[in-house]
Amino acid sequence: MRPFGIRMLIALFGAFAVLSAIAHTATAADRELRANAVGNEEGIAYLGMKRFAEIVEERAGDKVGIKRFHSSALGDQVSSIESMQAGTLDIATIETPITTVDSALGATALPYIFQNRDHIAAAMNGEAGEWIEERLAKKGLRVLGFMEGGFRQITNNVRPISTPADLDGVKMRTPSSKLRIKIFNTYGANASPLPFKELYTALQTGVFDGQENPVIWAKVTKFYEVQKYLSITNHLYTVTYLLMSEDSFQKLDPATQEIFEQAGREAADYTRKLGQEAEGEIIDYLKGQGMAVNEADTAAFVEASKPIWDDWAAENGEAAKTLIDLVSAATP
């Protein structure tokens, strides 16, 4: 056989192998979905999404497969929202940027609106959660679960934060949320937004003095390398929305839709339990890494937060007031 013929044969075998691999991937499930999570593989958002996908794949069999991406590999949160609404992304976890869809949902991010995780579960599994689900459905987004985002704490390099007065002049990074910026400026800080992926370097170089996030982020992103103080403020709780494109959801048969919704509820419960169990262990870990940890004066922060509630409710109308009332009225 001529050399050209050998090369052609090799090429044909190679093409066949590639096509076989593609066919195997395509037939692994009747429908392949893509899911995009904020945070890395150790973050609760990804772990919750992973748990959700495992439940779905176990119960749906070969009907559905879910390919998971972490660290916002398929786009940031705002892009994920837009892609789901356009039907080009199936599933994503969304946190603070949910307010770009409906500003009234910022009520869940008001300081100290949630008392504890039992209160969170009662509100989000009750009338408040149903109200949110109805509003997002009108925007082309199906809520599959309200997952753990965690109670947020403050880290910084200036001083321990015991009262809002201790934040005076501290350069604080916040997410891109007008409410969050307002909260910290009201407390006395100099707050401004920055993408999360740029935060470590900004803290390292002194562009920002501090940041606020659930403690798990101080561990998995190694903020303890560039931050001295951890202050336990519990100033607000982040709801992580497990969302699905309504277009993608409607393409599922009714039985599979029920599997998705049940899996979302179970994944949400799993993440809240995971968050509660992990907090104490993570704080001990951060102490071991050299961070100085203190408990803040919660009463002082609650008092300083009252004007924030009043101003925000006045700015965002009746819908915002309705959600505040629904959350506040929820009882475990």
Residues 217 and 126 in one domain: no
Residue 112, phi-psi category: left (phi > 0), alpha (psi -120 to 50), beta (remainder): left
Closest CA to 98 of 28, 176, 210: 176
Does the pLDDT of residue 23 top 60, yes or no?
A: no
Residues 52 and 23 in one domain: yes
Residues 173 and 263 in one domain: no
Residues 313 and 174 in one domain: yes
* Beta-strand runs (E) in 82-203: 91-94, 141-151, 153-156, 171-174, 190-193
Kindly state the average pLDDT of the residues 18-33.
52
**What is the Cα–Cα distance from 74 to 307, expressed in whole angstroms?**
38
Is 100 a domain residue? Answer: yes
Domain assignment of residue 223, given as a range = 153-236+281-326
* Residue 9: per-residue pLDDT: 39
Residue 332 — very low, low, confident or very high, per pLDDT cuts 50/70/90?
confident
Is 332 a domain residue? Answer: no
**What is the Cα–Cα distance from 281 to 249, expressed in whole angstroms?**
37
Is 162 a domain residue? Answer: yes
Kindly state the average pLDDT of the residues 142-149.
96
Q: Which of 191-200, 245-254, 296-305 has the lowest mean pLDDT?
A: 191-200
**What is the Cα–Cα distance from 91 to 244, expressed in whole angstroms?**
4
* Residue 8: per-residue pLDDT: 39
* Residue 10: per-residue pLDDT: 38
* Residue 176: per-residue pLDDT: 81
Is 129 a domain residue? Answer: yes
* Residue 40: per-residue pLDDT: 87
Residues 131 and 244 in one domain: yes
Residues 45 and 164 in one domain: no
Is 331 a domain residue? Answer: no
Residue 140, phi-psi category: left (phi > 0), alpha (psi -120 to 50), beta (remainder): left
Is 169 a domain residue? Answer: yes
Q: What token pair was written down for 92?
A: 């994503």
Kindly state the average pLDDT of the residues 138-152.
96
pTM of the full structure: 0.82
Q: What is the mean pLDDT of the chain?
A: 90
Residues 55 and 196 in one domain: no
Closest CA to 226 of 210, 248, 212: 210
Does the pLDDT of residue 5 top 60, yes or no?
A: no
* Residue 171: per-residue pLDDT: 98
* Residue 76: per-residue pLDDT: 92
* Residue 28: per-residue pLDDT: 63
Kindly state the average pLDDT of the residues 111-115.
95
Is 33 a domain residue? Answer: yes
Q: What token pair was written down for 243?
A: 């969302």
Residues 291 and 265 in one domain: no
**What is the Cα–Cα distance from 266 to 34, expressed in whole angstroms?**
20
Residues 84 and 219 in one domain: no
3-state helix, strand and coil shares in percent for the chain, rounded to the nearest 5: 55, 20, 25
Residue 1 — very low, low, confident or very high, per pLDDT cuts 50/70/90?
very low
Contact present, 22 and 29 (Cβ < 8 Å): no
* Residue 278: per-residue pLDDT: 85
* Residue 128: per-residue pLDDT: 98
Is 304 a domain residue? Answer: yes
Provide the number of structural domains found in the chain. Answer: 2
Q: How many CB atoms lie within 10 A of CB 259?
A: 21
Kindly state the average pLDDT of the residues 159-170.
98
Kindly state the average pLDDT of the residues 125-135.
97
**How many percent of the chain have pLDDT more than 70?**
92
Closest CA to 84 of 106, 100, 60: 100
**What is the Cα–Cα distance from 320 to 120, expressed in whole angstroms?**
17
| Burial profile 126-141: b = 16 or more Cβ within 10 angstroms, e = fewer | bbbbebbeebbeeebb
Does the pLDDT of residue 16 top 90, yes or no?
A: no
Give kind and range of the element (H or E) at residue 34. Answer: strand 31-36
CATH of the domain at 133: 3.40.190.170
| Burial profile 90-116: b = 16 or more Cβ within 10 angstroms, e = fewer | bbbbbbbbbbebbbbbbbbbbbbbbee
Residues 40 and 187 in one domain: no
Residues 158 and 291 in one domain: yes
Q: Residue length, the chain?
A: 332
* Side chain identity, residue 115: Q
DSSP sequence for 196-245:
GGGHHHHHHTTS-SEEEE-HHHHHHTTGGGT--EEEE----EEEEEEEEE
Residues 131 and 160 in one domain: no
Kindly state the average pLDDT of the residues 53-57.
97
Q: How many CB atoms lie within 10 A of CB 295?
A: 11
